[in-house]
């Protein structure tokens, strides 16, 4: 199931190719879908629509007692050891838990829809939407099992193909309603449901052919209390961690919705889409770290390789955060207008309050995936609890004072202690951070961004107005930042290009240095 003869280079380049091939397609599809919704629905309706999705994500923490997430820790071990009976049993445990809790929690949403609509969302439309999204809650949880199995086996091609299918059909249904003139908040909610059915059917078909028929068809599940107890104890700690983690990432949206109302929540949800742009690029590859680290942790003497991976990712992702932070902070309003129109200008103003802290988020996610792969769930829980202890009081203090921008600032500030504590917990896998490399990128990109920002407010090109003007400047910002980043990292970019060329057979393996050497070094 998992290839043991792949080097680190082959694993990250080959698997990463599929991650980014689909991510570069899925990301724009998602934003086009939200752009259509933002143009058709009012700010208040957008706030209610995505507020419900946020609430479902919050409650979804309990959807399977977190047994599904535990699969990513245990399935790689069973696959490497060829313990297929235990492999099949573990999936069964997760499926039963997933289906049972999804029905119970979905019923809670269905029968409590009117109460929540009146007292929480303060919107008459929310009741009907909640009943529709009960089905979304149940189906998305079922889809999660198949995606988790593919992720744990490092089958990134199938894992992200499922997301692509779901995204493309979501866009097709939403665009179809829009073009036919049938676009309203209820119909758009149903357009969220049908793509899930299609994605689940595709997922089951591929899993049957690639996994079940090859490895599991002749194997009987080896159910045992010992195995279930081991998985459940691990899952219980993940449940507690995820409970705090999802609360930490979703509490700001819910506090804004409750304290400030649907309109401010509408601005904030599109801000979340804007701050999520860079994570479309980094989250898929960072998520791939979990099963890889778990795979290494299952063997002895791999500490040097884990340290190598951490150093490599921290170096490049912290440097990549620099142009992202400058672009989002200085040109946030242009991002908001270009993506969602003039009526969402305020979403760009909110963006400037948290973008300067984005590098902390990039790096803490790397640390958290390493801790998860090592099985350090309790440590993750403690860190997130401390982060939550920072986040909630800051939100309650800053939201009444500054409104939605205050919440963005509270979230950005809470990333700092989470990053620091996760950095300390990963201390045994030494980092050796390259400050000269980081400062070089900061100076080059910083000067570029400052020059563009000055030009933006000194010169307005004739013939461009509103959204077209914002698109023009964002295109210029992105192109200039890419050129500046490549110029500051010529040797590093050359290595990556050589890796890709080798993957497609353009060069021989011996003709270039490894980016992540088997000796554990992170640089050539």
- Ordered DSSP codes for 169-232: HHHHHHHHHHHHT---HHHHHHTTTHHHHHHHHHHHHHHIIIIIIIIITT------HHHHHHHH
pLDDT of 512 > 50? The answer is: no
Confidence of residue 61 (pLDDT cuts 50, 70, 90): low
**Can you tell me whether residue 432 is helix, strand or coil?**
coil
Return d(Cα 406, Cα 424) in angstroms, integer: 28
The total number of structural domains that make up the chain:
1
Share of the chain above pLDDT 70, in %: 81
Cβ neighbours of residue 396 closer than 8 Å, sequence gap 6 or more: 255
Q: What is the pLDDT of residues 114-133, one digit of tens each?
A: 888 888 888 888 888 999 98
pLDDT, residue 516, reads 41
pLDDT, residue 390, reads 87
Closest CA to 103 of 127, 72, 74, 134: 134
Q: Is residue 372 domain-resident?
A: no
Share of the chain above pLDDT 90, in %: 10
pLDDT, residue 173, reads 93
pLDDT, residue 434, reads 73
pLDDT, residue 98, reads 78
Q: Which residue has the tokens 């595709």?
A: 202
Q: Is residue 218 domain-resident?
A: yes
User: Which of 24-38, 429-443, 472-486 has the lowest average pLDDT?
Assistant: 429-443
Q: Is residue 488 domain-resident?
A: no
Question: Higher confidence at residue 101 or residue 190?
Answer: 190
pLDDT, residue 177, reads 93
pLDDT, residue 190, reads 92
pLDDT, residue 511, reads 38
CB 291 within 8 A of CB 439: no
pLDDT, residue 482, reads 81
* Token pair in block for residue 74: 């245990």
Q: Is residue 291 domain-resident?
A: no
Per mean pLDDT, which of 82-96, 248-262, 491-505 is the most reliable?
A: 82-96
Q: Which residue has the tokens 């080896």?
A: 222
Q: Which residue has the tokens 């997130």?
A: 384
Confidence of residue 241 (pLDDT cuts 50, 70, 90): low
Q: Is residue 14 domain-resident?
A: no
**Rounded mean pLDDT of the chain?**
79
pTM higher than 0.85, yes or no? no
pLDDT of 350 > 60? The answer is: yes
pLDDT, residue 514, reads 35
pLDDT of 463 > 70? The answer is: no
pLDDT, residue 64, reads 57
User: Which of 35-49, 54-68, 385-399 has the lowest average pLDDT?
Assistant: 54-68
Q: Is residue 386 domain-resident?
A: no
Question: Higher confidence at residue 496 or residue 145?
Answer: 145
Q: How many CB atoms lie within 10 A of CB 382?
A: 15
For residue 201, the enclosing domain spans 43-223
Q: Is residue 121 domain-resident?
A: yes
Return d(Cα 178, Cα 165) in angstroms, integer: 20
pLDDT, residue 11, reads 57
pLDDT, residue 87, reads 87
CB 294 within 8 A of CB 373: yes
- In order, the DSSP letters of 93-151 are HHHHHHHHHHHHHHHHHHHTHHHHIIIII--THHHHHHHHHHHHHHHHHHHHHHHHHHH
Return d(Cα 371, Cα 266) in angstroms, integer: 35
pLDDT, residue 521, reads 39
Q: How many CB atoms lie within 10 A of CB 3?
A: 10
pLDDT of 491 > 80? The answer is: no
pLDDT of 35 > 50? The answer is: yes
User: Which of 355-369, 400-414, 445-459 has the lowest average pLDDT?
Assistant: 445-459
pLDDT of 246 > 80? The answer is: no
Which phi and psi (to 5°) does residue 124 adopt? -65, -30
CB 84 within 8 A of CB 219: yes
Mean pLDDT of 483-490: 79
CB 75 within 8 A of CB 87: yes
Mean pLDDT of 440-466: 75
Q: Is residue 391 domain-resident?
A: no
């Amino acid at each position: 199931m998992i290839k043991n003869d792949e080097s680190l280079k082959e694993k990250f380049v080959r698997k990463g190719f599929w991650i980014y091939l689909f991510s570069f397609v899925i990301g724009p599809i998602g934003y086009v879908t939200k752009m259509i919704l933002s143009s058709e629905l009012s700010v208040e309706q957008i706030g209610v629509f995505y507020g419900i999705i946020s609430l479902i994500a919050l409650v979804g923490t309990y959807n399977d007692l977190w047994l599904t997430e535990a699969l990513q820790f245990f399935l790689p071990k069973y696959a490497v050891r060829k313990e297929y009976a235990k492999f099949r049993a573990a999936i069964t445990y997760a499926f039963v838990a997933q289906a049972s809790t999804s029905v119970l929690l979905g019923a809670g949403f269905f029968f409590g829809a009117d109460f929540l609509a009146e007292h929480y969302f303060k919107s008459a439309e929310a009741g009907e939407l909640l009943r529709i999204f009960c089905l979304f809650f149940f189906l998305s949880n079922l889809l999660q099992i198949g995606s988790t199995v593919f992720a744990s086996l490092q089958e990134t091609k199938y894992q992200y193909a499922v997301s692509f299918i779901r995204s493309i059909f979501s866009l097709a249904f939403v665009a179809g309603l829009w073009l036919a003139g049938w676009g309203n908040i209820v119909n758009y909610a149903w357009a969220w449901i049908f793509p899930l059915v299609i994605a689940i059917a595709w997922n089951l078909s591929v899993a049957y052919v690639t996994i079940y028929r090859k490895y599991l068809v002749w194997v009987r599940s080896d159910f045992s209390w010992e195995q279930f107890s081991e998985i459940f104890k691990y899952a219980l700690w993940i449940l507690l961690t995820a409970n705090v983690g999802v609360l930490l990432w979703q509490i700001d949206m819910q506090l804004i919705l409750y304290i400030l109302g649907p309109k401010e929540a509408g601005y904030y949800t599109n801000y979340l889409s804007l701050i999520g742009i860079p994570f479309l690029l980094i989250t898929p590859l960072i998520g791939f770290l979990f099963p890889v680290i778990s795979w290494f942790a299952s063997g002895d003497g791999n500490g040097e390789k884990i340290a190598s991976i951490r150093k490599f990712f921290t170096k490049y992702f912290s440097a990549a955060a620099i142009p992202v932070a400058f672009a989002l902070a200085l040109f946030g309003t242009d991002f908001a207008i270009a993506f969602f129109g003039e009526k969402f200008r305020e979403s760009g103003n909110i963006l400037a309050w948290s973008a300067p802290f984005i590098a902390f988020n990039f790096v803490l996610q790397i640390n958290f995936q390493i801790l998860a792969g090592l099985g350090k769930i309790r440590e993750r829980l403690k860190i997130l609890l401390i982060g939550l202890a920072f986040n909630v009081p800051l939100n309650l203090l800053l939201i009444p004072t500054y409104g939605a921008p205050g919440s963005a600032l509270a979230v950005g500030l809470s990333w700092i202690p989470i990053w620091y504590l996760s950095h300390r917990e990963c201390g045994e896998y030494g980092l050796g951070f390259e400050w000269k490399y980081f400062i070089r990128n900061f100076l080059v990109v910083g000067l570029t961004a400052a020059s563009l920002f000055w030009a933006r407010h000194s010169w307005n090109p004739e013939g461009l107005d509103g959204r077209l003007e914002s698109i023009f400047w964002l295109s210029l910002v992105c192109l200039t930042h890419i050129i500046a980043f490549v110029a500051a990292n010529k040797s590093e970019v050359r290595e990556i290009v050589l890796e890709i060329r080798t993957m497609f057979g353009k060069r021989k393996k011996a003709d270039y240095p490894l980016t992540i050497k088997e000796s554990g070094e992170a640089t050539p």
